[in-house]
Amino acid sequence: MRIFPNDELGLMARALLLSSLIFCTAFAWAQAPDGAATSKDPALVTFTLDFPESSPEHYSIRVPSIGPAHYESSGRLSAESDVTDNFDFDFSVSSELRSKVFALAAKAGYFQKDLEAHHKNIAFTGKKMLRYSDASHAGESTYNYSTNAAVQDLTALFQSLSATLEFGHRLNYYRRYQKLALEDELKRMQEMARDNNLIEISSIQPILQQIVEDQSVINVTRARAQRLMSGANGR
């Protein structure tokens, strides 16, 4: 029987341990389906709308279970413009909104079934898509109109959020290039806020703060921005 020196035994033990780790890692990858989320990945809800007759013509909102949300859109900045404008924006969402989004996604079965109502004579209001993914679930469905109450609530929520973010985008443009347009834009924003058609106004607080602090903007306009930023909604 061969006697191994202590240092050689140590080397053999480390080699066996490394081989075991490599095997276990390879086995875990083999067991996980392609593209599946891992336990470390955040859950994600995505809403997309494509509607050539609206402004913007396309937008997508991604809300993860942790971290900032992301918005991207494309379309004309105004009805008078022929130039396509692309907008990408990372923003913070409130814990209340995040919880509501994921609760509604669960209520809607993580979008694993067809969400379309398939009713005749329903007006086209845009091609919508809801997608969900986490370590245990994955689902996606496209629809124009759905009778699912949770889907209706999510659709309204994301459309209101898009409206808020698009206001922020236009306000940023007007503050730079067309300050006189700020007054009408903020007035329209106040009206929509009073009618509860906007949510998460805090997500565009930086541009509202810039308007408030801009001495070249007239006082009445700066006051409107201040009321919106403070949550007064123009009242």
Domain assignment present for residue 22? The answer is: no
Domain assignment present for residue 28? The answer is: no
The pLDDT of residue 78 is: 65
Domain assignment present for residue 148? The answer is: yes
Please give the average per-residue pLDDT across 88-93, as a whole number: 96
Distance of alpha carbon 157 from alpha carbon 199, whole angstroms:
8
Q: Is 50 exceeded by the pLDDT of residue 37?
A: no
Q: Is 60 exceeded by the pLDDT of residue 100?
A: yes
Q: How many CA atoms lie within 13 A of 140 on its CB side?
A: 8
Tens of pLDDT, residue by residue over 107-162, are 999 999 999 999 999 999 999 999 999 999 999 999 999 999 999 999 999 999 99
Domain assignment present for residue 33? The answer is: no
Domain assignment present for residue 137? The answer is: yes
Residue, of 16 and 113, whose pLDDT is higher: 113
Domain assignment present for residue 30? The answer is: no
Domain assignment present for residue 166? The answer is: yes
Tens of pLDDT, residue by residue over 55-84, are 899 999 999 999 999 999 998 766 666 777
Tens of pLDDT, residue by residue over 173-200, are 999 999 999 999 999 999 999 999 999 9
Q: How many domains does the chain have?
A: 1
Place of tokens 């140590």: 10
Distance of alpha carbon 145 from alpha carbon 88, whole angstroms:
27
Pairing relation of β-strands 69-76 and 84-91?
antiparallel
The pLDDT of residue 40 is: 66
Q: With contact defined as beta carbons under 8 Å apart, do 127 and 51 qualify?
A: yes
Q: Is 80 exceeded by the pLDDT of residue 91?
A: yes
Q: Is 80 exceeded by the pLDDT of residue 14?
A: no
Q: Is 70 exceeded by the pLDDT of residue 6?
A: no
Domain assignment present for residue 93? The answer is: yes
Percentage of the chain exceeding pLDDT 90: 73
* Range(s) of the domain holding residue 53: 44-229
The pLDDT of residue 231 is: 82
Distances (CA, A) of 235 to 191, 193, 226, 228: 10, 10, 11, 9
